[in-house]
Amino acid sequence: MQLDPSIFKAYDIRGVVDSTLTEEAVRAIGRVLGTLAIEAGAPSFCVARDGRVSGERLLGALIDGISSTGIKVLNAGAVPTPVLYYATKHFGNGTGVAVTGSHNPPDWNGLKMMVAGVTLFADKIQDIRRRAEAGDWITAEQPGEVESVDAVDPYIEKALNGIKISRRLKVVADAGNGIGGPTLLALLSRLDVDVTPLFCEPDGTFPNHHPDPSKPKNLADLIAKVKEIGADYGFALDGDGDRLGVVTNTGDVIFPDRLMMLFAADILTRHPGEPIVYDVKCSRRLVDWIAEKGGVPTISPTGHSLVKAKLRETQAPFAGEMSGHIFFNDERWTGFDDGLYSAVRLLEILSRSDDPSETLRSLPNAVNTPELQIPMNEGEPKRFIERFKSECKFDDAEHVITVDGVRVEWKDGFALARSSNTTPVVVIRFEGDTEEALKRIEKRFTEEMRRVEPTLRLPE
């Protein structure tokens, strides 16, 4: 069969339902995934879905495909992606798929996949495409058993183990009508916290705002509610619950790289001298902060799957990326990205403070640009970045890092250019300790980009 190549992304599988991502495609992918699980010796296969309108039928097609290989399927139902990740630990198979469109528009959906403890990305995802198109899968004489399982209660028990709330806080929790709302409220109901829920009922049409906390416009309702009721702070989840956004009582957005400072400082009190993983988009201030707190700053390419791979390689106790994926890998949690658990850990840390919002605001900050995009034709961004890597000259910089694009660090800021793994654009971002530093770094970096490629059309 022929599958739309556009659905096979760098970190997961994603597409427009019934257009690029069809039930037939999901069923074929399920057959390959079941085969991969059997080949890896997995005893069973966990599955789940988020709250999107198309979720139930795509999950049905996925289960058909996986079970046709003969492997047992454990269906956790409609739960956040982190609950699915935890299910693979709880049931001891290390193998699972979440049917989720994450923060994409309502007519999209997709698959986040792991087999035998390894999250699938890049070449492994392309291999799924190759095998699905070739019909390279196992077909059993009898389909595997499909069992409905409860993963939420075990997840909650594990998540709350060891959490100590020092004083009662007033918080607003905005789930954006994603699937994370009910589980988050169930978690918080077991803790000493005054919580005001906002859009915590799953609704795959997302009638209030889009469930993507990385975009400040999606935090407007949360900020308004926090101010209205005088909450200590507010937090927001994305559509499938694996990312976290945070705002203060005055409406300041605490971007994830600053939030990671708070988490890293706490982790390093118990794990001194260990690596802390961050992605190439994160602030230079975070790098310095980790070192000052006694950790080893460890850079990773962008992408939740790639950060997980770096986490597995380094055995770091903590990792995070600028998009809001946060990974606790210490004695209390199990190394996957989890917005719900991160919210609980944040509650624990901030409950020790007399002024939680001031604790958040006082984290080191810098002056930076949002992500800027240079649109190109398909295939051109990667070619340009390879040229830029080989031809650029930054003798005045402290470091030139090429793990994912080109990140150039000066003592007072950094510049980044990388090829997006999801759309045909070059992404650039600049940061400086001051406005003057930011302008100098932006000018220096863009002039070098134009020297390498004079026809480049930079965003204004």
**In the structure, what pLDDT confidence band is assigned to residue 342 with cuts at 50, 70 and 90?**
very high
Closest Cα to residue 36, out of 138, 119, 130? 138
Does residue 460 carry a pLDDT above 90? no
Contact predicate 419/426, CB 8 Å:
yes
Q: What class is the 368-452 domain?
A: alpha beta
Q: Does an H or E element contain 375, and which? A: strand 372-375
Give, as one character, the DSSP assignment of residue 320: E
Q: Are 117 and 46 in contact (CB under 8 A)?
A: no
pLDDT classification of 218: cutoffs 50, 70, 90:
very high
Model pLDDT for residues 384-396, shown as the tens digit of each residue: 999 999 999 999 9
User: What is the reported pLDDT for 285?
Assistant: 96
Give the pTM.
0.95
Share of the chain above pLDDT 70, in %: 100
Dist CA 304 CA 421 (whole Å): 12
Tokens of 85: 């990740």
Using 50, 70 and 90 to split pLDDT, how confident is the model at 432?
very high
Average pLDDT, stretch 155-179? 97
Residues 34 and 66: their CA atoms lie apart, in Å, by 4
Within this chain, domains 5-151 and 169-361 share the same CATH topology: yes
102 is catalytic: yes
Contact (Cβ atoms closer than 8 angstroms) between residue 117 and residue 94:
yes
Structural contact between residues 94 and 57, judged by C-beta atoms closer than 8 angstroms: no
pLDDT tens string 64-113: 999 999 999 999 999 999 999 999 999 999 999 999 999 899 999 999 99
For residue 371, pLDDT over 90 is answered with: no
CATH code for the domain defined by 169-361: 3.40.120.10
The single residue of 102, 323, 342, 419 carrying the catalytic annotation is 102
**379 compared with 408, residue with greater pLDDT:** 408
**Buried/exposed code over 299-310 (b: 16+ C-beta within 10 A; e: otherwise):** bbbbbbbbbbbb
H helix intervals, 113-180: 123-134, 152-160
pLDDT digits (tens, 9 = 90+) for 22-55: 999 999 999 999 999 999 999 999 999 999 999 9
What rounded mean pLDDT belongs to the chain? 96
| pLDDT tens digits along 295-337 | 999 999 999 989 999 999 999 999 999 999 999 999 999 999 9
How buried is 91 (Cβ within 10 angstroms: 0-12 exposed, 13-18 middle, 19+ buried)?
buried
- Say which residue the tokens 């709350």 belong to: 160
- Sequence spans of domains, the chain: 5-151, 169-361, 368-452
Residues 90, 304, 325, 407: which is the catalytic one? 325
5-151 belongs to CATH 3.40.120.10:
yes
Q: What percent of the chain has pLDDT over 90?
A: 95
Report which secondary-structure segment, H or E, holds 419: strand 413-419
